[in-house]
Structure 1
Amino acid sequence: MSVSTPSDSAETTALRTTPLHALHLELGARMVPFAGYSMPVQYPAGLLAEHKHTRSAAGLFDVSHMGQLRLVGADAAAAFERLMPVDVIDLPVGRQRYGLLLNEAGGIIDDLMFVRRESDIFVIVNGACKEGDIAHIQTRIGQRCAVQPLPEQALLALQGPQAADALARLAPEVQKLVFMTGMDVRIAGCDCFVTRSGYTGEDGFEISLPAAQAETLARALLAQPEVQPIGLGARNSLRLEAGLCLYGNDIDTHTTPVEAGLQWAIQKVRRTGGARAGGFPGAERVLAQLDGRVPLTRQRVGLVATERVPVREHTRLENMDGQAIGEVTSGLLSPTLNQPIAMGYVPPDYAALGTEVFAMVRGKPVPMRVSAMPFVPTRYYRG
């Protein structure tokens, strides 16, 4: 799942708005175009303060631009499993999983989250990809199950080490949830489906609810002493510190899950042996990369600069001989570490931890070392 730091240079007149648009303006947000929507990139406190507040307390994010849909029918799990290298059939009710829609070459169409519920499979996809994703799913499996988009639903994310305290004050039942589980619950009079998940590396929750109730819930959450509104800018810096991919930058239709280091998302039952191994788009290439029959030519790595020079996406990476070896796909000055961090792709020969590469920033080489990810330890609540 993903969010980048959007530009505010484009016209905003034709942009869609989320159900919280008026509240964002009331709170003094700076609005920018993102994924076809007018979205808050930051509030008056600023990106750095918002990032640090989420790390220390609880931040409320509007992510209603994301796509939400449900798959309904007795064959929904088996059908959905044919689109991804992921175990859908055996996922228990109430559990959530990360998934990857792939094309026939094994490239990533989108990354997503899905939850097995009693009556359906609830799916959240990236905002910039949602129309294409829904069309892809409908075309591929619409004859096997009902594919129902949920444009009338809003989506809020409450993230941070005090998120559980703030939310439990309004709905004590949420304390039962652990990372990657979900439940229906009433919060401040609103009809919510809550998962204990998010894209910041912190403990927290994502809350789907009717658009008409979104402002009521947002105000109730913002009334809690731990909670402040947080924009897309801090969400991007948080997800990069957590080593999480941004779709369109770090993963795309030309990148396989193995190249992206996402093979952990491919369960054993989909890898080798048995009736459910393979069978997904691009399986031949992906499985051959997994078992080494097809060597990788590049792989995603974490990078930390040894000088305090921010390194942005699309920056060229070179070796010590000045030869181009790859490119940075996400990068910024880490608010938590106070040093530049990045992700990028390099050949396997340069992917070992500690390997030195050079990012070319305004014509000058900036030394970087390949680093383990996440850059900042995650704090998911597993019970």
Structure 2
Amino acid sequence: MVPFGGFHMPVQYATQSVSASHHFTRSHASLFDVSHMVQHRFQGPGATAFLEKVTPASISQLGTHNGGLSTLLWPVTGGIVDDTIITRLGPQLFYVVTNAGCREKDLKYFEEQLADFKKSGGQDVEWEVLDGLLVTPDEVDLQKLYFGQSQFIKIKLLGDKVSSPLLVSRGGYTGEDGFEISIPGHETVAVTETLLQTATVEKLQLAGLGARDSLRLEAGMCLYGHDLDDSTTPVEAALSWVIGKDRRVAGGFHGEEVILRQLTPKSKGGIGVERRRIGLIVEGAPAREGAEIVDEKGEKIGNITSGCPSPTLKKNVAMGYIKDGFHKSGTNVEVIVRGKKRTAQVTKMPFVPSRYWKGAAPA
């Protein structure tokens, strides 16, 4: 158990090593405790406009029970306050999940931004930090619940009781097909025990932060405070895809003057970026956060933000930021690990192909 985002979290469980847990997740299924995450509800006639002010997402185009990754942005600079998942639950109702490690910063951010929004004439927005979600459940065929979608579902608990409506979202921070389940606090143990005992230990086991980190890194996913921070824009972070197509034309979100100009390279009249997030395969010892990336002359051109041995690939993988121009896949560089230069090559991410459920059976 280690401190994590204000909670004590398991790095691993006694039944499996981190590597074994990682492989089990890829071949079977694992249950991760993510109850440290912060859940919010925004609703009201101004909810869509407010969320489109603080994020670059196409909130107005989001269908009911659909959601996706976005970023909260600072005004002017376009720096990332936090990464977030936003799901529409109704015409004027949104479910927003943010990181536990940014809890106090995010709460202050929402308070300030809502005050500014209302001062500037924005319509009413109600904001609530949730302990649980209670909504009328839907009849759901999980085979037809696809990646990025969610529904409220009741499940039969051990002892023939029935759970409260649980918000089940199909996503996957591991790169595998997965579900995020929002459970009222008083039912957390009952739901968890039901899942574990119904599935059997051969099919489902608990997994900790160690496997969660190596899985998300293989999937090329960012961890806030490491691969993302307040000084990083979505374009630098290789997250330009979170900027909706309509938002690229209409703008209207924090930092748009910087972000939209970064999308266009200098050669075409924009400002481009000085650095970009990239993936690396590193030979020899694994490169960890803080390691320097250097060119053939030994000059620093970047730094590692996350890195570990990949249990799936049996290679050392890493993410980091590199000087623009060195970011293309196949570029050879070196990483300084414990004072020694290690050969590395820029590679596309995800390192391991994602297998989300989008309607066709996963490979």
TM-score, normalization: structure 2? 0.89
Give me the whole-angstrom Cα distance separating, in 2, the residues matched to 1:219 and 1:172: 22
Structure 2 counterpart of 1:28: none
- Write the deviation string for residues 164-203 of structure 1: whole angstroms up to 9, x where unpaired: xxxxxxx973332100000000023222000001211000
Query: Is the contact made by 1:138 and 1:147 (CA closer than 8 Å) also made in structure 2?
Result: no
- After TM superposition, give the deviation of residue 131 of structure 1 in Å: 2.6
Structure 2 counterpart of 1:310: 286
Of the three residues 11, 19, 29, the one matched with 1:48 is 19
Of the three residues 87, 100, 104, the one matched with 1:115 is 87
Of the three residues 168, 178, 185, the one matched with 1:204 is 178
- Write the deviation string for residues 305-347 of structure 1: whole angstroms up to 9, x where unpaired: 1x23111010011111111111000000001011100011111
Of the three residues 145, 154, 159, the one matched with 1:186 is 154
Structure 2 counterpart of 1:6: none
**Tell me, which stretches of 5 or more residues in structure 2 are unaligned?**
119-123, 134-138, 157-161
- Write the deviation string for residues 1-32 of structure 1: whole angstroms up to 9, x where unpaired: xxxxxxxxxxxxxxxxxxxxxxxxxxxxxx11
Opposite residue 99 of structure 1, the aligned amino acid is S
Query: Is the contact made by 1:61 and 1:231 (CA closer than 8 Å) also made in structure 2?
Result: yes
- Write the deviation string for residues 53-78 of structure 1: whole angstroms up to 9, x where unpaired: 00000000000000001001122111
> Helix, strand or coil for the counterpart of 2:231?
coil
Structure 2 counterpart of 1:135: 108
Give yes or no for the alignment of 1:220 onto 2:190.
no
Give me the whole-angstrom Cα distance separating, in 2, the residues matched to 1:337 and 1:255: 29
Structure 1 counterpart of 2:222: 245
Structure 2 counterpart of 1:10: none
Query: Is the contact made by 1:173 and 1:185 (CA closer than 8 Å) also made in structure 2?
Result: no
Query: Is the contact made by 1:301 and 1:370 (CA closer than 8 Å) also made in structure 2?
Result: yes
Of the three residues 26, 33, 37, the one matched with 2:3 is 33
Write out aligned runs for 1:152-301 (5 A): 152-153=131-132, 173-188=141-156, 189-191=162-164, 192-223=166-197, 224-225=199-200, 226-272=203-249, 277-292=250-265, 293-301=270-278
- After TM superposition, give the deviation of residue 141 of structure 1 in Å: 2.3
Pair 1:351–1:40, CA change in 2 (3 A): same
Query: Is the contact made by 1:198 and 1:206 (CA closer than 8 Å) also made in structure 2?
Result: yes
Runs of 4+ in 1 over 4 A off after TM superposition: none
> Helix, strand or coil for the counterpart of 2:229?
coil
- After TM superposition, give the deviation of residue 279 of structure 1 in Å: 1.5
Structure 2 counterpart of 1:160: none
Query: Is the contact made by 2:172 and 2:356 (CA closer than 8 Å) also made in structure 1?
Result: no
Give me the whole-angstrom Cα distance separating, in 2, the residues matched to 1:180 and 1:172: 15
Opposite residue 6 of structure 2, the aligned amino acid is G
- After TM superposition, give the deviation of residue 125 of structure 1 in Å: 0.5
**Paired positions, count:** 331
- After TM superposition, give the deviation of residue 130 of structure 1 in Å: 2.1
Give me the whole-angstrom Cα distance separating, in 1, the residues matched to 2:94 and 2:328: 39
Opposite residue 142 of structure 2, the aligned amino acid is V
Give me the whole-angstrom Cα distance separating, in 2, the residues matched to 1:121 and 1:181: 13
Give yes or no for the alignment of 1:377 onto 2:350.
no
C-alpha RMSD of matched pairs (Å) = 1.4
Give me the whole-angstrom Cα distance separating, in 2, the residues matched to 1:299 and 1:172: 41
Query: Is the contact made by 2:177 and 2:356 (CA closer than 8 Å) also made in structure 1?
Result: yes
- After TM superposition, give the deviation of residue 139 of structure 1 in Å: 2.3
> Helix, strand or coil for the counterpart of 1:140?
helix
Give me the whole-angstrom Cα distance separating, in 1, the residues matched to 2:224 and 2:273: 20
Give me the whole-angstrom Cα distance separating, in 2, the residues matched to 1:100 and 1:379: 23
Opposite residue 37 of structure 2, the aligned amino acid is M
Query: Is the contact made by 1:80 and 1:141 (CA closer than 8 Å) also made in structure 2?
Result: no
Give me the whole-angstrom Cα distance separating, in 1, the residues matched to 2:287 and 2:264: 33
- Write the deviation string for residues 336-363 of structure 1: whole angstroms up to 9, x where unpaired: 0111000111112211111111110111
Opposite residue 29 of structure 2, the aligned amino acid is A
- After TM superposition, give the deviation of residue 255 of structure 1 in Å: 0.5
